[in-house]
């Protein structure tokens, strides 16, 4: 199959292309390791670039496009993770561990808790 129409072509409007490029750099290629769709040569990344450019050219908001891609491909597609009912423990765990470490260190250095 030939590549998607906007996979390797830039939009004629420089402002729209800048929006598309900025969004593409925050979206992960689904088959490449640690590459954005802007940097990947995989065919699915080309299809995603084309979809982003077509939607930007149609006047769609980049965040609406991101939401559509997340809905279609899952949270993995975005480099900017969202806090949801499933992911909030991942964001809270470092804070809980930091508070626990501070509490333990405070007890250790103040001498409280050693029986003296």
Q: For 30-64, how does the pLDDT look when each residue is reduced to its tens digit (9 = 90+)?
A: 998 789 999 999 999 999 999 999 999 999 999 99
Spatial CB neighbours of 81, under 8 Å, sequence gap ≥ 6: 75, 87, 90
pTM of the model as a whole = 0.70
For residue 27, give the DSSP letter.
B
pLDDT given at position 85 = 81
pLDDT given at position 55 = 97
pLDDT given at position 89 = 86
Q: What percent of the chain has pLDDT over 70?
A: 93
Average pLDDT value for residue range 78-89: 80
Contact 76, 30 (CB under 8 A): yes
Contact 52, 20 (CB under 8 A): yes
């Amino acid at each position: 199959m030939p590549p998607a129409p906007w996979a390797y072509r830039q939009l004629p409007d420089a402002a729209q292309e800048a929006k598309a490029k900025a969004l593409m750099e925050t979206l992960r290629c689904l088959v490449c390791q640690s590459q954005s769709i802007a940097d990947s040569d995989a065919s699915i990344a080309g299809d995603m670039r084309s979809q982003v450019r077509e939607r930007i050219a149609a006047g769609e908001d980049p965040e609406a496009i991101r939401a559509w891609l997340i809905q279609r491909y899952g949270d993995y597609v975005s480099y900017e993770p969202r806090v949801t009912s499933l992911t909030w423990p991942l964001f809270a765990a470092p804070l809980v561990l930091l508070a626990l470490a501070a509490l333990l260190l405070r007890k250790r250095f103040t001498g409280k808790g050693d029986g003296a």
